[in-house]
Homo-oligomer: A and B are copies of this chain.
Amino acid sequence: MITKAEEADGPAINHIAASIDLFSPEEVKCVAELWREFTQKGPEASGYSFLILKEDGVVKGFACFGPRSLTQSTFDLYWIAVDPKAKRNGVGRALMEQVEKEVAGVGGRLLIAETSGQEKYAPTRAFYEGIGYCREATVRDFYAPGDDLVIYTHPLL
């Protein structure tokens, strides 16, 4: 079941972020900061919305998204993460479908997902490509030397 995240889901969200091998300590900290902003200010003032997927009452994954400032109805997918023990069960795909519905429901027009071009992110890129996202652009050496930014886009209308 996918629902909007509530305050009590914070520990599970942060725990999942910390359990993702690909996430650096800075990235885990960034998830925690966005979560704090979201719980303190709410989705509108913070600009962040969180969805969670629960199975038998246990959070198996989450997604965080929000509107991109200075654009007309473009939204960023900031984070998506699935409990490593729950992989290959369609959790990520189900979360993305709900993110798309939520974003389209508030008039969102374009969803942007950014990831790394590193070899270890090949499964992440395969995930976006598998759900039909367009590999729209690459910024070489963006994250670090040899670590490109890859921008995926998905039109919603």
Contact = CB atoms under 8 A, between A and B. Distances in A.
Interface of A: 24, 26-27, 30, 69-74, 109-110, 112, 136-145, 147, 151, 153, 155
B143 A30 contact: no
Contact of A74 (B73, B136, B143): B143
Contacts of A136: 138-140
A71 to B, nearest CB: 5
Nearest to A157: B145
A23 to B, nearest CB: 10
A141 B151 CA distance: 13
A24 B26 CA distance: 34
Contacts of A27: 70
Contact of A144 (B72, B141, B145): B72
A137 B153 contact: no
Given A138-B137, A151-B137, A143 B69 contact: no
A142 B30 contact: no
23 contacts: A24-B70, A26-B69, A27-B70, A30-B69, A30-B70, A71-B142, A71-B143, A71-B144, A72-B143, A73-B144, A74-B142, A74-B143, A109-B141, A110-B142, A136-B139, A136-B140, A137-B137, A137-B138, A137-B151, A139-B151, A139-B153, A141-B155, A142-B153
